[in-house]
Structure 1
């Protein structure tokens, strides 16, 4: 009877030890699985992060390359335009450029140069909806701006096209000019072109050649607002 009891106790201890070993093995397997899963997730996160960073860098590089290509094409177009004579362009030489605070009687309409007000107009792609003072506009031309004017013959489509062009072009400005003879007039310092429609290809040629072009008396001078209100 005592012997049987001892054998039963030994069997229980053996069974308990077996269960403990099995539990340890399960714990080890669970840890391995957990570490493996964590490794997979981490690898995915790292890989995804690298992909996101790489993709973002690729997009940035593409944008920079596109901007550089656009700037290069624009520079090439400007260089080509500078060497090309635009049919119909009129020029004036030996224009005065004194600063005055009085009204000036200009010999051409709209004026393309001469004595002018000490303050220039905002010409950073500014579209005015009413006439602007000649004397301030001429000062902006001295800084290399192109001034687009139009009279009552211009169609709404003309005005829309020209406004879009001017508003995206630094060193340009636009305003109505009821007294001018031509439908649309483009003016730069000492230089002027009259066209019948905004669709005339010479409009773009004029912008390419004369926005901060060779006629500019003060290259690099500001074209931002100085408080002049037409």
Structure 2
């Protein structure tokens, strides 16, 4: 190997280390935070792609291992597999989960109007509040679609930079509403 090539490799190695350090420091500085009453923060969640069901500590989950498929963004009228929705969170998305027995039709419609471009909305069985909004490692239980904390949460955590793959993959190219149940069944979820 000639000297110029060795020198270039050395410079590239130093540059790569410098970029990694800058990204780590920037990540800490750019972690979004909001002063939202009831906001729960979680950390050290896995984000591996798995081919089995995952036993999440939170319900709905706020991150963790998940399947390789994600959901197309939008409003879902049937519950979806947690493992699909968590993949959306990994991409920096927002998940609006609601208790279908606690909201009437007009409230569900009002909630649907607030789904951000990179968000999903699904009914979710067993919620302790009418609405729970989640992003990677962040979650808050809400009183309903008109709870002002929803807007603050979405404004703060949409495209969440602490999500492992925030901004790397869009909400298209995933599983749509028509296929979500069959994909979950195929995966054994």
Alignment TM-score, normalising by the size of structure 1: 0.60
Counterpart CA distance in 1 for 2:34 and 2:85 is 26
User: Deviations along 1:94-125, whole A, 9 cap, x unmatched?
Assistant: 001111010111011001111100111112xx
The structure, 1 or 2, with the larger RCO (C-alpha pairs under 8 Å, 6+ apart) is 2
Q: Which residue of 2 aligns with 1:174?
A: 121
Q: Which residue of 2 aligns with 1:216?
A: 163
Displacement of 1:216: 2.3
Q: Which residue of 2 aligns with 1:154?
A: 103
What does 1:21-170 correspond to in 2, within 5 Å?
82=32, 84-123=34-73, 126-151=74-99, 152-166=101-115, 169-170=116-117
- With over 3 angstroms needed to count, the CA separation of the structure-2 counterparts of 1:111 and 1:130, relative to structure 1, is same
Q: Which residue of 1 aligns with 2:6?
A: none
1:199 paired residue among 146, 152, 174: 146
Q: Is 1:188–1:215's contact at 8 Å kept on the other side of the alignment?
A: no
Displacement of 1:213: 2.3
Question: How many residues align structurally?
Answer: 145
Q: Which residue of 2 aligns with 1:183?
A: 130
- With over 3 angstroms needed to count, the CA separation of the structure-2 counterparts of 1:146 and 1:161, relative to structure 1, is same
Instruction: Determine which structure has more spread, i.e. the larger CA radius of gyration.
Output: 1
Q: Which residue of 1 aligns with 2:17?
A: none
Alignment TM-score, normalising by the size of structure 2: 0.72
Counterpart CA distance in 2 for 1:173 and 1:97 is 19
